[in-house]
Chains A and B, each alone.
Chain A
């Protein structure tokens, strides 16, 4: 049971259920307490010890069902007994081959056991890639003794009497059933242990995928990337939502200490120290939504809006020729489709950074105060219009920090109609940002500046 339990825990970890060593010990204790005679009880008890959120419970249930699923073999029933003379008619190899005996007798449970044992010897549970499936199936079957069966079949085929032919037919059908079952077995193992690592690999690739690639992002990738962005945001939120107050040890809060001491006749029994509230980030995002930047803008917005636990206030604006508030759009639509809606309103305009900054300064400049971090996303290609650097400087003066994210690599900045070099002196940070990985890193930097060390 020990080995099976460990495999099960490994399968759970592969399915993203966090199982720590302590919980593994608990799981063993659980099995010792409830035993495994009652499947339902066994499952519920393990679930209580191992799965710690509603999501994990669902994943636990799925993994449990797959892991402990054992289909029975579909074998032809053995010919009716009575022909007592038959065993002597069989070639001696059949007597020597356990597998052949099992197949001919239709001993389903023995076959299942033999398969488990063979799987362990062939180390099927260490499967990583889908390409390993056929090799592992073959190895498992060889461990079970398929070679002998093949020899018997070959030998029997040469003898042309009816009895041998019947034997060949039965062994062939048994072999077929066995192979199919072995394939299903390996497939299940792959699902249990490897599907998640494949997914992780894919996510890693997506995190490095260029957002402004020619032809846009594949719709199938898009769904996964949206999920990935949410996951990244959750990770950051978990990390930065922990501390609300920072104790400044050593600074006596005289006012509160005196007030507390009233209860004890003026004796300062309870000393109160000053604490400082940790400020939550206050973010204004201004996104260019021209064709090459739209995808990055979409992910930036999804990211920022998924951070609501750690972000105090979040305002978003989008522009191409003119500027509009994304918050208004968001009231009606989900964040995943916000940019599409914005594009419906202001798409197909010629990008004009100067005009857009004018719009912003006229209407929304009051959104920015000394607590606000402004994140500007754009390629700074203003079609040779006046970039209005003076307005950009005004915004920078009011804001706590000015961060420019540019989807283009740094070597392109300032080339052609790019006015990046002129905005650059007014940015606290300017970084190329063309993959989800870069996006995550920059947002983490923003969050970190708000956390006192």
Chain B
């Protein structure tokens, strides 16, 4: 974390090839202690960035997947109602006995009641959920809030306190503050626009699809043992696919999957047949496959990027 270059190298060490912009944003996030909002289309390595950062810093990763209807009892904490119920029952029995023992009037019984420590709302009965777990990690951690755009607006508003002050208020207990602020990643697929308040609290990083050189490096790092020639060919094939008008352009994860598939098929270089057989790894829509199939030979023949 000493410099951006060191960060690029470190991430490469754990298998994540970062562009300069990505590394700079991460560097700033750590130094300014701000959450980082990562946007980009599916499969460009948004989640992977958080995983790799955790691996690089050898911090625990706490992941929270967002979805519609996610609320604070699933994100922050919940009371262990069952145990609380048992506790009150035990308490009732014990108190009955004790109070009966004490004898005397109602006032004395009440004094005794107040004298017994009230554990009903106390930490042992608290069931921590991801956000709270992250705040309780004393040595810091990487908190990944995945696909924040899928959650409701109300939840987004609720996140603001956590993200700006790294603390949460639990009405029954008070404020819980993180000793070491976690490194927070939020990812978004742009299903809906996020609120300005949330954006303002975060650094912003948009990960675009990579250029050919960067993508070759990524493939080489993710698929060990792949021949340089095949990497070159397949990356330039994928790059030319991205220039076509497709419903879903292949992103990095598809390229990597395809590279793995080609190795399984023992392909040494691209030819029409191999590509046709494995095209479904790369393209996820029937129409896209149908549109690309007749052009395969021509696409392979294109000069390498």
Contact = CB atoms under 8 A, between A and B. Distances in A.
A47 interface: yes
A309 B191 CA distance: 11
**Centre residue among B24, B39, B82, B153 by max chain A CB count within 10 A:** B24
A47 B196 contact: no
Contacts of B203: 48-49
Given A41-B4, A264-B85, A265-B85, A242 B20 contact: no
Contacts of A52: 37, 199-200, 202, 204
B94 interface: no
Given A26-B32, A53-B204, A238-B193, A48 B81 contact: no
8 contacts: A33-B31, A45-B24, A48-B25, A242-B153, A243-B153, A263-B82, A265-B85, A269-B85
B246 interface: no
**Centre residue among A33, A51, A53, A244 by max chain B CB count within 10 A:** A53
B157 to A, nearest CB: 10
Contact of B32 (A29, A47, A56, A263): A29
**Centre residue among B21, B34, B201, B203 by max chain A CB count within 10 A:** B203
A47 B21 CA distance: 9
B261 interface: no
A30 B4 CA distance: 13
Nearest to A58: B206
Contact of B206 (A34, A57, A264): A57
Given A44-B21, A45-B27, A264-B85, A30 B32 contact: yes
B152 interface: yes
A23 interface: yes
B28 interface: yes
Using C-beta atoms within 8 Å of the partner chain, give the interface range for chain B: 20 to 34
Contact of A244 (B4, B24, B152): B152
B263 interface: no
B159 interface: no
Contact of A54 (B36, B39, B202): B39
Nearest to B78: A270
Contacts of A263: 81-82
Nearest to A267: B85
B200 to A, nearest CB: 6
Interface of B: 4, 20-21, 24-25, 27-29, 31-32, 34, 36-37, 39, 81-82, 84-85, 152-153, 192-193, 196, 199-206
Interface string A35-53: 0000011001101110111
B31 A41 contact: no
Given A30-B28, A54-B39, A48 B204 contact: yes
A159 interface: no
Nearest to B24: A44
A244 B192 CA distance: 14
A123 interface: no
B20 A264 contact: no
Contacts of A264: 81-82, 85
A371 interface: no
Contact of B28 (A23, A48, A53): A48
A18 interface: yes
Contacts of A242: 153
A23 B205 contact: no
Nearest to B25: A48
A48 B24 contact: yes
Contact of B200 (A23, A56, A270): A23
A-B pairs, top 3 by smallest CB distance, nearest first, are A44-B24, A48-B25, A52-B199
Contacts of B200: 20, 22-23, 52
Interface string A59-96: 00000000000000000000000000000000000000
B222 to A, nearest CB: 24
A231 B34 CA distance: 31
A203 to B, nearest CB: 21
Given A48-B25, A52-B204, A244-B152, 8 more contacts: A29-B32, A34-B27, A48-B204, A48-B205, A54-B39, A242-B153, A244-B153, A264-B81
A34 B153 contact: no
B190 to A, nearest CB: 8
Given A41-B24, A54-B206, A49 B32 contact: yes
Nearest to B208: A54
Contacts of B25: 44-45, 48
Contacts of A241: 192
Contacts of B201: 22
A243 B152 CA distance: 9
Interface string A240-264: 0111100000000000000000011
